[in-house]
Amino acid sequence: MRTQPWSRLPVLALIALFGVSSAALAQQPTPSIEEKYKIGHSRHGEAYDEGPREKPWLMQGLTLTPFPITTKNPEVQKWFDQGITLLHSFWFYEAERSFRWCLKLDPDCAMAYWGLARAAEDQKRSEAFLHEAIKRKDQVSERERLYIEAWAARLKTDLPEIAGGNHESFGKRNGEFKAKLERLVMKYPDDIEAKSLLALENLANNRVGTELLLRQVLAKDPRHPGAHHYRIHNWDGKDGGFAIDSCEIYGSLALPVGHAHHMPGHIYSDLGMWHEAGIAMDAATRAERQYMLKRMAFPFNTWNYAHNQNYLTYIQTQLGMADAAIRGARQLLAAPLDPKYNGPGRFSIHYQGQIALMRALIRFERWSGLLNQSVFNWQEVTRDKMNRAYSEAIAHLGLNDKERAARSYAAHAALKDEIAKPDNKWLEETWKVQGEELKARLALVNGEVVNGLGILSEAARLEAALHETFDDPPFYPTLLYNVLGRAYLEHKSPALAVTAFEKALTVVNTDGFALSGLAEAYLAVGEKEKARDAYARLLHVWSDADADLPQMERARALGLQAALRDASPRNQRNYKRTSLDSYGPGEWVAYAAPKLEAVDAENKRVTLDEYRGKNVVLIFYIGRECSHCVGQLKDLARRAEEMKALEVEVLAASSNPPEENAGEFAREMKARLLSDVSFENAHRFKSYDDFEEIPLHSTILIDKQGRVHWARHGGAPFTDFDFLVKEIKRLNGLQEAQAASGSAASTTPPGSSQR
């Protein structure tokens, strides 16, 4: 008699799967195949199909924020405290993992559901979790019940037990939420968690009141990471100096959390403390790379990584570190793509890589690099067409090719109707500023000096306003007051150049490009001491700048003698000389594939060693009785020749024993079918749900060096093989480029793959 895969599942998993007691299990009617093969989907509903599926770990270097709750299992408290602490640093995904484990230990823990409602970044999931918390609110203390009711008042939902439902405006519901949170603070004045959360809700609305509330939290717990984090957000901007003491401590309270290092970098950037900003943002990117390596994650599903790396490249341009900025931007462009996270959305990893590379190449006048289509990989979307036309026009102007520059400008202007479409409205202001800048530059090279300077002056004003709206980091590639100042110098108007460069410094504090131009402009108008002071500040901010920067060479040619001077409100460390290795690696690398130890249909041992030098698509599927699984394998089998041409071997693992993988089924699937009867390989490859003890679907792309380049795990099979083929082609190109440059070793992760 055939052994069905579900017969080898633990009894508790079967009970969980079918929702029956062990006593009644034998009395249940035999489920259909489709019902049985909902394995991989949570028995609790769709809300649980998203998010982490593996058990948490106790994070080292995390200063916990105790939040006592009612629970039947004492172990729950430590995981709940970890989840709450991670919420304080906006690490929602990992907070959810901790709260899920709380429910594994105590399925009726109301506050764990409340924590999940806060951690879920999807409205429907939040509603589902909160619904469960509300059902259990009478089982907890009054204090806990008030927390649940406060969030119930706020969350938009159809649930009848939440007053107001969908019919109340967000403003009214949010007002009721804050009122309930205020009552909680007044009723429990020693509850610093309530105070910190109320402060979070009041950020930027009443900055002084928020500051005073957070000071109460810090008076009781000086190392409360949430209070320090919220102070930084509260003063983020030109007044960031008020939170500088929190910037100096926050990262040390949440060492594994990238965002805890990232946010101080915001403040330091606003203050023009570029060395400290570099240290903070570099630590942030390293912490997230360390997380990805250890937890087998990717840049596209690590929420803040691209933003960290983009911001770091901006800071490196401010420090005059051109090569480092360009290398960081290229890292983003080389990162794995994903159809869910790297579409034409506004702030995908690929888009942030394009912006970061444009910024560095334009500011450091690397004109030929701007024309390299293969690096930017521009797509046929309005955003890319706009930025490509703009950057190529800038490059042609830099190379003195007016004819090609004019053609690129015309292509940019021709996008007017596309830009006007509703989906592209967010591009409109940038497109307008780019157009004015190009028009001005073309006028200047054509000898229309007065007209060109006038247009450029207005463009600089518009770009400064754009910068004021969004500087996180700024997505416009250059500070146009610096471009205007340089134009004034070239056309013998140094006094106007002084004004332009000084305006640049009001937009970006301690901007090295502005200081370089300012030294030249002040010297030209006879203000030698002011020129020397600008040069002294430049020497500090660009103390580790690359040797061949045009702006630095022009400043040195002035012959000014000055000792470097740091004009910052606090003394800074030197970015380049500060060791950050303890936070994580300096570049992103794909993680080494875990050990694969299985047998095929002929009972032959299979490891990844025999596939060295080839790409591998490794699929974990539930079993041959699962119609969705078989459909996935058949879809992939139809591409067998295509996969072979791409140097891809297909392996497919399930809990089916070898005899069930032999014969016609294996030949039809055109893949080497592997047996993973005890799910040991599924565990190692993140294809197993530790919370519900069920196997998951996984599709995993392993490169020729044994590194996992891309993966998708979940309750349903991955079937977008058009994407997968494109990503394999891109991966092959990257591997060929690495082999040609001899750089493959530099991207090999620590520790070798157990192939």
**Looking at per-residue confidence, does 160 or 431 come out higher?**
431
Region 53-70: mean pLDDT is: 97
Q: Which range has the worst mean pLDDT, 431-440, 608-617, 623-632, 677-686?
A: 623-632
* Residue 211 belongs to domain with CATH number: 1.25.40
Return the pLDDT at 345: 67
Question: Mean pLDDT score of the chain, rounded to an integer?
Answer: 90
Question: Is a pLDDT exceeding 80 seen at residue 31?
Answer: no
The three-class DSSP label of residue 431 is helix
The domain boundary, picked from 430, 458, 478, lies at: 478
Q: Is residue 273 in some structural domain?
A: no
Number of domains in the chain: 4
Question: Is a pLDDT exceeding 80 seen at residue 443?
Answer: yes
Return the pLDDT at 238: 87
User: What are the tens digits of pLDDT across the range 304-317?
Assistant: 899 999 999 999 99
Range of the domain at 513: 480-566
Q: Is residue 528 in some structural domain?
A: yes
Claim to verify: residue 76 and residue 218 sit in the same structural domain = yes
Q: Is residue 322 in some structural domain?
A: no
DSSP letters for 312-380: HHHHHHHTT-HHHHHHHHHHHHHSPP-TTTSSS-TT-HHHHHHHHHHHHHHHTT-HHHHT-HHHH---S
* Residue 639 belongs to domain with CATH number: 3.40.30.10
**Looking at per-residue confidence, does 165 or 529 come out higher?**
529
Region 313-323: mean pLDDT is: 98
Q: Which range has the worst mean pLDDT, 359-363, 394-398, 537-541, 713-717?
A: 713-717
Return the pLDDT at 341: 81
Question: CA-to-CA distance for 259 and 241, rounded, in angstroms?
Answer: 19
Claim to verify: residue 253 and residue 120 sit in the same structural domain = yes
Under DSSP, the state recorded for 715 is S
Q: Is residue 332 in some structural domain?
A: no
Question: Is a pLDDT exceeding 70 seen at residue 510?
Answer: yes
Question: CA-to-CA distance for 152 and 724, rounded, in angstroms?
Answer: 42
Claim to verify: residue 84 and residue 131 sit in the same structural domain = yes
Region 281-286: mean pLDDT is: 98
User: What are the tens digits of pLDDT across the range 446-497?
Assistant: 999 999 999 999 999 999 999 988 888 999 999 999 999 999 999 999 999 9
Q: Is residue 308 in some structural domain?
A: no
* Residue 488 belongs to domain with CATH number: 1.25.40.10
Claim to verify: residue 509 and residue 645 sit in the same structural domain = no
Q: Is residue 493 in some structural domain?
A: yes
Q: Is residue 521 in some structural domain?
A: yes
Question: CA-to-CA distance for 709 and 722, rounded, in angstroms?
Answer: 17
Q: CB of 96 within 8 A of CB of 105? A: no
**Looking at per-residue confidence, does 434 or 46 come out higher?**
434
Claim to verify: residue 109 and residue 219 sit in the same structural domain = yes
User: What are the tens digits of pLDDT across the range 341-363?
Assistant: 876 667 889 999 999 999 999 99
Claim to verify: residue 510 and residue 395 sit in the same structural domain = no
| Tally of CA atoms within 13 A in the half-sphere of 354 that contains its CB | 24
Region 553-578: mean pLDDT is: 95
Return the pLDDT at 170: 63
Return the pLDDT at 739: 78
Question: Is a pLDDT exceeding 80 seen at residue 137?
Answer: yes
Q: Encoding tokens for residue 675?
A: 């047996």
Question: Is a pLDDT exceeding 90 seen at residue 64?
Answer: yes
Question: What is the percent of the chain where pLDDT is above 70?
Answer: 90
Question: Is a pLDDT exceeding 50 seen at residue 377?
Answer: yes
Region 724-748: mean pLDDT is: 75
Q: Encoding tokens for residue 656?
A: 């089916």
Return the pLDDT at 131: 95
Q: Which range has the worst mean pLDDT, 37-51, 65-79, 342-356, 439-453?
A: 37-51
Q: Where is 712: in which H helix or E strand?
A: strand 707-714
Question: Is a pLDDT exceeding 50 seen at residue 729?
Answer: yes
Question: What is the percent of the chain where pLDDT is above 90?
Answer: 80
Q: Which range has the worst mean pLDDT, 29-33, 44-48, 184-188, 377-381?
A: 29-33
Return the pLDDT at 156: 58
CA 545 to chain centre: 27
Region 422-439: mean pLDDT is: 96
Claim to verify: residue 460 and residue 498 sit in the same structural domain = no
Q: How confident is the model at residue 162 (pLDDT cuts 50, 70, 90)?
A: very low
Return the pLDDT at 11: 30
The domain boundary, picked from 447, 478, 509, lies at: 478
The domain boundary, picked from 201, 231, 261, lies at: 261
Q: How confident is the model at residue 169 (pLDDT cuts 50, 70, 90)?
A: low
Claim to verify: residue 539 and residue 602 sit in the same structural domain = no
Question: Is a pLDDT exceeding 60 seen at residue 34?
Answer: no
Q: How confident is the model at residue 748 (pLDDT cuts 50, 70, 90)?
A: very low
Return the pLDDT at 742: 66
Phi, psi (degrees; rounded to nearest 5) at 620 = -105, 125
Q: Which range has the worst mean pLDDT, 490-504, 525-539, 668-682, 732-746?
A: 732-746
Claim to verify: residue 673 and residue 722 sit in the same structural domain = yes
The three-class DSSP label of residue 126 is helix
Q: CB of 173 within 8 A of CB of 164? A: yes
Q: How confident is the model at residue 271 (pLDDT cuts 50, 70, 90)?
A: very high
DSSP letters for 22-39: TTTGGGSPPPPHHHHTTT
| Tally of CA atoms within 13 A in the half-sphere of 326 that contains its CB | 16
**Looking at per-residue confidence, does 608 or 342 come out higher?**
608
Dihedral in degrees, nearest 10, Cα atoms 18, 22, 23, 26: 60
Claim to verify: residue 599 and residue 673 sit in the same structural domain = yes
Q: Which residues of 179-204 are buried (b: 16+ CB within 10 A; e: fewer)?
A: ebbeebbeeeeebbbbbbbbbbbbbe
Q: Which residues of 100-126 are buried (b: 16+ CB within 10 A; e: fewer)?
A: bbbbbbbeebbbbbbbbbbbbeeeebb
Claim to verify: residue 553 and residue 437 sit in the same structural domain = no
Which residues, 6+ apart, have CB-to-CB distance to 710 below 8 Å?
Answer: 298, 336, 337, 338, 700, 701, 724, 727
Claim to verify: residue 77 and residue 217 sit in the same structural domain = yes
Return the pLDDT at 38: 56
Q: CB of 596 within 8 A of CB of 608? A: yes
Q: Is residue 560 in some structural domain?
A: yes
Q: How confident is the model at residue 39 (pLDDT cuts 50, 70, 90)?
A: low
